[in-house]
Homo-oligomer: A and B are copies of this chain.
């Protein structure tokens, strides 16, 4: 009976919506095992990390140069045999990124960091495919029961942008009259005196998220369509 110590790692599924597509951030592995395959950003929990979440944030920053992000613990995977190097227990995290932040990725060395559409992923290292599927489920629930959508949008956005986030995450279209009615009635949007001009057609009004009002909603708000 072997007594190698069990190791703990963190992996993060970082979502963003770009051009009406739901995407995640992957890094290309530089070493074996699974050298040259794409994998979730992550790494070993370090004794210096004061919390596990902090370790996930640290690894995300180190590997992709993305920082200051909404992080939420997802699930811990620890089946025997999921890592050829030995017994590895992985705590997975969900991250939500704003389109604003996306520029940052470029500054990490050009090589192996990229956004991939969730609907068209490459082959992934380890059991990372399973982790992504779990995260995808979670974000679908989350967007209906929380204000998660606003973590995927820049400060100012149009109602169309907001609807596109819902449609990208849920993977289906939503009636635009009902969508707008619902959000406007909820009162969690601050109407700005600005518009966004995208082409030769009517400009769209910009809104921002009214976090205060959101917090004061009486019941767990449900944005389900």
Contact = CB atoms under 8 A, between A and B. Distances in A.
Contacts of A185: none
A45 B91 CA distance: 15
A143 to B, nearest CB: 15
Interface in A34-70: 45, 47-52
Interface in A1-22: 1-8
A89 B49 CA distance: 12
Contact of A76 (B1, B80, B91): B91
Give the interface size bracket for A toward B.
20 to 34
Contacts of A48: 1
Contacts of A1: 47-48
A91 B7 CA distance: 14
Nearest to A48: B1
Nearest to A7: B6
Kindly report how many copies of this chain are found in the complex they form together.
Answer: 2
A78 interface: yes
Question: Which residue of A47, A51, A79 has the most chain B CB atoms within 10 A of its CB atom?
Answer: A47
Contacts of A91: 76, 78, 89
Contacts of A47: 1-4, 6, 80, 87
A225 interface: no
Contact of A8 (B2, B4, B73, B89): B89
A43 to B, nearest CB: 13
A183 interface: no
A93 to B, nearest CB: 10
Contacts of A76: 52, 73, 76, 91
24 contacts: A1-B48, A2-B47, A3-B47, A5-B5, A5-B6, A6-B6, A6-B7, A6-B8, A6-B45, A6-B47, A8-B8, A8-B89, A45-B89, A47-B80, A49-B80, A50-B79, A50-B80, A52-B76, A52-B78, A52-B79, A73-B76, A76-B76, A89-B89, A89-B91
